Amino acid sequence: MSTQSLLERRFRVLGKHSPLFYDKPLQLVRGEGVWLYDAEGKRYLDAYNNVPHVGHCHPRVVDALCRQAHALNTHTRYLDDTVVTYAERLLSTFDKSLSNVFFCCTGTEANELALRIARECTGGQGIISTAHAYHGNSAAVAQISTLFTPPEKRGPFIRTIPVLDPYRERRGRDDETLSTAYAQDVQKAVDDFARNGVKFAGLLICTAFSSEGLPTVPRGYLAKVVKIVHDAGGVFIADEVQAGFGRFGSHMWGHQVLGATPDIVTMGKPMGNGHPLAGVVARADLVEQFTSQNMYFNTFGGNAVSAAVGLAVLDVLQEERLLENARIVGEYVIAGLRKLQTKHALIGDVRGAGLFFAVEIVRDRTTQEPAPAETKRIVNGMRERGVLISRIGIHDNILKIRPPMPFSTGNADLLLKTLDDLMTSL
Amino acid sequence: MSTQSLLERRFRVLGKHSPLFYDKPLQLVRGEGVWLYDAEGKRYLDAYNNVPHVGHCHPRVVDALCRQAHALNTHTRYLDDTVVTYAERLLSTFDKSLSNVFFCCTGTEANELALRIARECTGGQGIISTAHAYHGNSAAVAQISTLFTPPEKRGPFIRTIPVLDPYRERRGRDDETLSTAYAQDVQKAVDDFARNGVKFAGLLICTAFSSEGLPTVPRGYLAKVVKIVHDAGGVFIADEVQAGFGRFGSHMWGHQVLGATPDIVTMGKPMGNGHPLAGVVARADLVEQFTSQNMYFNTFGGNAVSAAVGLAVLDVLQEERLLENARIVGEYVIAGLRKLQTKHALIGDVRGAGLFFAVEIVRDRTTQEPAPAETKRIVNGMRERGVLISRIGIHDNILKIRPPMPFSTGNADLLLKTLDDLMTSL
C-alpha cells in the first residue's frame, strides 16, 4: 500500500481538510521512546509530540493499560479504588486549595467544563483569552480558540488580550515594568466588559502560551493578572494541556512556574501518554456550587483503564526522574540553539524551559521581521532529514520543539546537528 | 479497604455529587462477558451496561487494544492505514449518502460537532430536541439535554417536542394517524422558530428515545419528521449513542429501524467497548462545507489504538453474529416479560426490540398511573439479588434493561426469575 494511495483513500472517508502534518505527509507504523518509524522503515527523531509524554509506547504505561483492560473497564457510577487513588495522587501535585477533580477524555472537554463552572459560579458570561490561542474544538471552546475563530464568530462574551511578545516589545524595560504593562491589557478587557454590561466570568490562558509562541513571561506577570481577575469577581483558569506534567522541568505545572495559583486547572494531552484522558482540578467550593446545580457525568472519563494509565504515567515521571531530565537536557538544548544562533543569522531568538523550545526565524535581527516561508522550509526540511518539529506564533515563524520527556543529550545532539546542517544548506 | 471508607475517600476528591448507581453503591473489581464481580467476590449479571457492547473485557477487543498500544499510538495528523480502514468499514454500514466520518472521543464531542456542522451549514441556530433528552455534558449539548437543563437555562435557540408516549396516548389510533399527530409537534416547533425570527438549523434526537422511555415509535413517524425538517431547511441529526451498533438486532442503526436516512449521525458509548471512541458520520457536502471554513482536529479521536479497537468491535459483532443473538434472545426476553405481566399487576407495559427493553411500572393498569417509588425499589432490589438494571422515563417509572450483546437465553432466565421473585416479594 503506497502512501499516495492511502492518502487518496483517506481523502474519500475523512475529507480533504482533515489536518495532516508536512508538505509530504508521514505514514507511521511504529513508535518507541523518542523514535517513530515510517512504512518504509525510516526512523524519525520525535522532537515534536507531547502526547507520548513519557515516550512512545512506554512499556510500563502499556502494561498498566493492558492489565486493567483485561480485568475491568467501567465508569465512575460504580466505586473503584483505582480512580480514587489516581485522583488523590494527581491532586497531591497541586496547591492544597485545589482539592477536587473531574475526569474527562480530552482537553476540549476539560476546557468546556471549566467554562461551565466559571460561568455558573460567577453568574457571568465574559471570558478573556489571548488573541492567538487554541483551547479546543467545541462551540464554547472554539469561541476562545482565537487562532482559528475570527472575531465576528466569537459572540459577545469574549475579549482578548494581545499576545505577549517580549522579544519585540521589551525595549529595555525590566520585568516589573513590563509585567505591569502587560497586566494592564487584562484590566482593559475587564473594563470593556463592564462598559458593555457583560458580567465577567474569568480568564482562561495556556500557562505556556504555546500557540502564541512560547514567550518568556516577565516575572510577576501572572500574580498581577490573577489579582485583576479576582478583584473583578472572575476566576482564573489555567490551561495546563501544554505546560502540565512537568514539561518545563522545574515544576509539575506551568502556573507553578509562573508563580500564581489558579481557581480551576485543565489538563489533557500528556496525561494518559496517548490514551484519551483529561481532567479539571478545581477549588472544592466551586465544584460543590456547580455540581449541586448541574449533573456532570462523563461515561469514559476516569474509567478504570484511564485511571490505571494515568497512575502509570505519574509513576514513570517520578521513577525515571523525567522532570530532572527535562531540566538538564533542556539547558543543554538551549545552549546548543544559542550556539547555532551565533552561526545562522535567521535565528532571531532562542527561548524555552525544560523540554519546550521556541526558535524565532527572522529576515533580519535588527528589524526582527518574521520569516514564515523560511520557517516552513526548515520544518519540512527537518522532516526530510528525519527529525520531527513544527511551528507556532502569530507570524508562523517560530520553530516549535517539544520532544517526549525522555529526550537525551544524544537525541539533542542529533536535533542540533540536523538543524545546523539544514540551515547551512538553505 | 472497605466500601464505606472508599466512598469517603471518593467524596473528598471527586465531590459528593459525582453520580453513583444504587442506594448502596457497588464496588467492582472484575468483568467478563455479561458478568461483573464486586470486591467481596459476589457476581452480578449485567443487564444494564451498553458500553461493554460485545461483553466486558472481550479478549479479542482487549488484544487489539494491547497489540496496537505496544506498536504505535499517534493521531490523525500522520497517515495511518488502521484509521482509514476503520473509517471505510464503519461507513460501509450506512446509506451511501453518508460517506464521511470524523472520529472523536465521547458522545458529547460527537453531538457538539454535529451541532456545529448543522449550524454552520444551514446558517441557522434553532435546534429541536425532545422534552426529556440526554445528549451530553458540554455547554451547547447541555442546552438540548432537557432532562437536566430546565427551560430557562436552554437559551433562545432550543425548542422541544413532547416525549412520545403511545402506551398512554394511542387511544385506538392506527400508526398512520398517530405518526401524523406526533409529527405535527415537530411542525409546531419549526413554526415557533419562524414566528420568533430564529433561523432553523435542525432536529437532533436519540433514535431509541432512550431517556424518554423507549417508546414504541409508530411506523412512518420518522419519515414524516424528516420531511418537515428538510422542508424547513434544517438537517436531521440521528444520535445513535444508544441505538447504534446493532442494539435493536434487526439493523445496525436505529434510524434504519425507523426507516429514514439522517444527514448527520453521531455515535459513542458501544463503539470502542469501553475505550473512549466516538464519531460523526455525515454527508460529504456538509463535511466539505464545514471543514473548508473551520479547522477541526481531535488529538485522541481516531488515533491508531482507538481505530484498532473500533475495528475489533465490528469484527466481533459480525463473527459472533451478535445482531442475530440480539434478535433471538430479545424475543425470548420480551415473551418472558409479557408472561410476568400476566402475573404482576405492577407491570403496565412491556416493550423493546433486540436487547433493549422497557418495563412500565404502574399503580393501576387502567389509570396507567406511574409508580416511581416501586420502580426504584425494584432496581435496588435487583442489585441486592445480583442483577443490574436501571430506570428511565419522564415519570422515572420504567425499568431500563439493556445488557451487553452476548446476553444468552440462560442469562435471560436468570433476569426473568430474579425479577419474578422480587416482584412476588414486594
* CB-based contact A76:A303 (threshold 8 Å): yes
Q: Mean pLDDT, to the nearest integer, of B353-372?
A: 98
Contact between residue B181 and residue B173 where contact means Cβ atoms under 8 Å apart: yes
Residues B119 and B162 in one domain: yes
Asked if A31 lies within 8 A of B72 by C-beta distance, the reply is yes
Do both B172 and B208 map to the same domain?
yes
Given B272, B300, B319, the domain boundary residue is: B319
Query: Domain ends where: A319, A350, A369?
Result: A319
Q: Could A139 and B142 be called an inter-chain contact, meaning their C-beta atoms sit closer than 8 Å?
A: no
Phi and psi for B43 in degrees, rounded to 5?
Answer: -100, 140
| B340 and B235 in a common domain | no
Reduced to 3 states (helix: H, G, I; strand: E, B; else coil), residue B351 is strand
Q: Do A100 and B15 touch (CB under 8 A)?
A: yes
Does one domain contain both A47 and A66?
no
Q: What is the pLDDT of residue A2?
A: 83
What are phi and psi for residue B132, nearest 5 degrees?
-150, 55
Which residues are within 8 A (CB) of B314 and not within 5 positions of it... i.e. 6 or more apart? B86, B89, B90
The answer to whether residue B140 neighbours chain A at the CB level (below 8 Å) is yes
Map grid coordinates 483529561 to a residue: A278
Q: How far apart are CA A17 and CA B107, in angstroms?
A: 22
With beta carbons less than 8 A apart as the criterion, state whether A313 and A405 touch. Answer: no
Cell matching residue A420:
545546523
**Residue B213, all three cell numbers:** 422511555
- Rounded CA-CA distance A182/A234 in Å is 18
CA distance A194 to chain B (A): 22
A413 plus A330 within the same structural domain:
yes
Are residues B15 and B151 both part of a single domain? no
Residue-wise pLDDT tens digits, B171-212: 999 999 999 999 999 999 999 999 999 999 999 999 999 999
Say yes or no: A152 contacts chain B, CB-CB below 8 A: no
Alpha-carbon span A398 to A420, nearest angstrom: 16
**ipTM rounded to 2 decimals:** 0.97
Range A158-181 average pLDDT: 98
Q: Which residue of A has its CA nearest to B288?
A: A15
**Confidence category of residue A1, pLDDT binned at 50, 70, 90:** low
- CB-CB neighbors (< 8 A) of B99 in chain A: 12-13
**H or E stretch including A289?**
helix A284-293
Considering only CB atoms, which chain B residues are within 8 Å of A57?
Answer: 69-73
A426 burial via Cβ count (<10 Å: 0-12, 13-18, 19+): exposed
pLDDT in tens, A18-36: 999 999 999 999 999 999 9
Let me know: does A137 contact A147? Beta carbons within 8 Å.
no
pLDDT digits (tens, 9 = 90+) for A36-72: 999 999 999 999 999 999 999 999 999 999 999 999 9
- pTM above threshold 0.90: yes
Q: What is the mean pLDDT of residues A261-288?
A: 98
Band of the pLDDT at B1, cuts 50, 70, 90? Answer: low
* A181 and A246 both lie in a single domain: yes
CA geometry: angle A33, A39, A42, nearest 5 deg: 60
Cell output for A187 = 484590566
Number of domains in chain B: 2
In this structure, the answer to whether residues B182 and B79 fall within a common structural domain is: yes
Looking at residue A63, its pLDDT comes to: 98
pLDDT given for residue B3 in this prediction: 86
**Contacts of A243 by beta carbon, 8 Å cutoff, 6+ apart:** A206, A207, A208, A210, A253, A254, A255, A257, A356
pLDDT level of residue A124 (50, 70, 90 thresholds): very high
Grade residue B92 by pLDDT with cuts at 50, 70 and 90.
Answer: very high
Cβ-based contacts under 8 A for chains A and B: 299
Contact assessment for residue B186 and residue B228, using Cβ atoms and an 8 Å cutoff: yes
What are the chain A neighbours of B102 within 8 Å (beta carbons)?
14, 18
Q: Is the pLDDT of residue A251 over 70?
A: yes
How far apart CA B249 and CA B245 sit, in angstroms, is: 9
Clarify whether residues A28 and A117 are in a common domain.
no
Residue that is last in its domain, among A319, A341, A372: A319
Is it the case that residue B223 has pLDDT exceeding 60? yes
DSSP for B49-118 reads --SSTT-BT-HHHHHHHHHHHHH----TTSB-HHHHHHHHHHHTTS-TT--EEEEESSHHHHHHHHHHHH
Question: What is the per-residue pLDDT across A97-123, written as a single tens digit (0 to 9) for each?
Answer: 999 999 999 999 999 999 999 999 999
CATH number at residue A372: 3.90.1150.10
Residue A416 C-beta-side C-alpha neighbours within 13 Å = 22
Question: Which amino acid is residue B304, in one-letter code?
Answer: A
Percent of chain B with pLDDT over 70: 100
The pLDDT-based confidence of A417 (bands split at 50, 70, 90) is very high
Q: What residues make up the domain containing A282? A: 59-319
Q: How far is CA B97 from CA B101, B104, B233, B263, in A?
A: 12, 21, 18, 8
Asked whether the beta carbons of residue B13 and residue A84 sit closer than 8 angstroms, the reply is: yes
DSSP B198: P
Q: How confident is the model at residue B225 (pLDDT cuts 50, 70, 90)?
A: very high
Exposure letters B282-317 (e unless 16+ CB within 10 A, then b): bbeebbbebbeebebbbbbbbbbbbbbbbbbbbebb
Per-residue pLDDT of A311-338, as tens digits, reads 999 999 999 999 999 999 999 999 999 9
Q: How far apart (Å, rounded) are the C-alpha atoms in residues B276 and A303?
A: 9
Distance from CA of B64 to the nearest CA of A (A): 10
Q: Which residues 86-125 of B are in CB contact (within 8 Å) with A?
A: 87-88, 91, 99-102, 104-109, 112-113, 115-116
What CATH number has the domain bearing residue A186? Answer: 3.40.640.10
Residues A291 and A372 in one domain: no
pLDDT tens for B53-66 read 999 999 999 999 99
Which residue of A91, A105, A239, A400 is the best one to mutate when testing the B interface, meaning the one whose CB has the most B CBs within 10 A? A105
Q: Is residue B307 domain-shared with residue B339, that is, in the same domain? A: no
Contact between chains at A27 and B79 (C-beta distance less than 8 A): yes
Q: Which of B20, B30, B60, B84 is the best residue to mutate to test the A interface, defined by the most A CB atoms within 10 Å of its own CB? A: B84
- In three-state form (DSSP H/G/I as H, E/B as E, the rest C), the secondary structure along B236-288 is EEEECCCCCCCCCCCCCCHHHHHCCCCCEEEECHHHHECECCEEEEECHHHHH
User: For residue A3, what pLDDT is reported?
Assistant: 86
Name the 3-class secondary structure at A137. coil
pLDDT at site A48: 98
Question: Which residues of A, range 10-49, sit inside 8 Å of B by Cβ?
Answer: 10, 12-21, 25-31, 36, 49
Residue window 283-322, chain A: list those with CB within 8 Å of chain B. Answer: 284, 287-288, 291-292, 294-301, 303, 305-306
What average pLDDT is seen over chain B?
Answer: 97
CA-nearest of B232, B245, B249, B47 to B128 is B232
Contact A297 B51 (CB under 8 A): no
Indicate if A20 and A71 belong to the same structural domain.
no
